[in-house]
Amino acid sequence: MNKTRFFPFLLALVTTILISCSKDEEPPCKDIEPLGLLETQISDNTIYDGKSTSYLKLEEGPIGINSYVLDDLCLIRASIGMLVNSTLERQTFVKVVPNQLNTPTFSFFQVEEDAILGKWDIIENEDNWIELEEITDEIIKGRFQATILVAENQNQFYTLNDTLRFDNVYFEAPFDEFNMP
């Protein structure tokens, strides 16, 4: 066999062996510490595990609480957004109305690679509420309950159930200046 023909073959073989024997790299999000706490079962086969849950106080207005489910590559797969008043009294969620910041709202999205796969809205005749137990400059703690239904005419590719339930869910949301994972 000609040496010039054999060398590329040998190089390819050695490279393949070295790559297959090298240790697999850890996913970038494996060692990231969770921010906040929000975990609950939302359907028979789906657990919402918000590894990034935080709050932001809007200037002279409500509190925004955001929670994100992140995959191994730190990409957002689902998100919750809650806009609530700064009070320890129980507040009732209503459907999101654009530019209305003074009523408690709840929104849920399923996301893949920066594309929204599905949006869910509050079912208004259900018992949907939030109750903040502690509000400080560092953290907000509380519970909420929401029953949501996939929104009409906005979802073509969602894979979750049409109806999702968050039942008396406890959460902790530390202050996060940027409020993003």
* pLDDT at res. 130: 95
107: three-class secondary structure by DSSP: strand
pLDDT at 4: 42
Nearest to 62 by CA among 93, 39, 38: 93
Is the separation of the CB atoms in 119 and 150 below 8 Å? Answer: yes
Strand segments (E) across the chain = 37-43, 46-49, 52-57, 63-70, 76-84, 91-92, 105-112, 115-122, 129-135, 139-150, 163-174
> Could you state, in chain order, the average pLDDT of each consecutive group of 10 residues for the chain (181 residues)?
40 34 54 79 85 81 87 84 91 81 85 82 93 92 94 70 90 75 45
Hey, how many other C-beta atoms are within 10 angstroms of the C-beta on 134? Answer: 11
Task: Note if the pTM is more than 0.85.
Answer: no
Structure token pair of residue 123: 């079912």
